[in-house]
Amino acid sequence: MRSPPFKVRDRPVDISGLTQLVELVHSEGALQSRAMAILNKLAIYGDEVALTAYAGSKAALELLVRQLRGQPDEQAVALSAISKLSAVQNARQLFVAAGGLEVMVAIAQKVPADATHILDNLAVIMSNFALPPHTEAAATAGAV
């Protein structure tokens, strides 16, 4: 039986493929990049089903942390996705385990004052990590 579609920006998306899409994160090269681009877009749109699927993948969260270490355009997309993913408890746990908080703090220390979109995303993300059980990890990473 097929999973019912959910809507992303008023277009139905079949969630039966989300598990397979998350599995493609284990691929290499262009296939991995494309899978991450799609997952990031789904996360940015904030659909709960997509966020839950994404947040359940250790490999996807680790790759997201690697994107944070990348070029500014990669960082901007990753930050937008993380601003939504950080609302999901499992994603926060995997993000902390992947060293994501330390990378976030390093980015926050270098962001120009006029980069309001990035600063807004950082504020949302850091506020999600300021609550238990991640308070200590946020403090250790230098977020507070």
Q: Rounded to an integer, what distance in angstroms lies between the CA atom of residue 59 and that of residue 26?
A: 7
- HSE-CB for 31 with a 13 A CA cutoff: 9
Instruction: Map tokens 């200590």 to a residue.
Output: 136
Is the pTM for the entire model greater than 0.85?
no
Q: What is the pLDDT along the chain (144 residues), one digit of tens a residue?
A: 444 444 444 544 555 677 787 778 778 888 888 888 888 888 888 777 778 888 888 888 888 898 899 898 889 989 999 999 998 888 899 998 999 989 988 998 898 999 999 999 999 988 888 877 666 666 665 555
- Residue 142's pLDDT is what? 58
- Residue 103's pLDDT is what? 92
Domains of the chain: which residue ranges? Answer: 5-141
**Which CATH number applies to 5-141?**
1.25.10.10
Q: Rounded to an integer, what distance in angstroms lies between the CA atom of residue 77 and that of residue 118?
A: 10
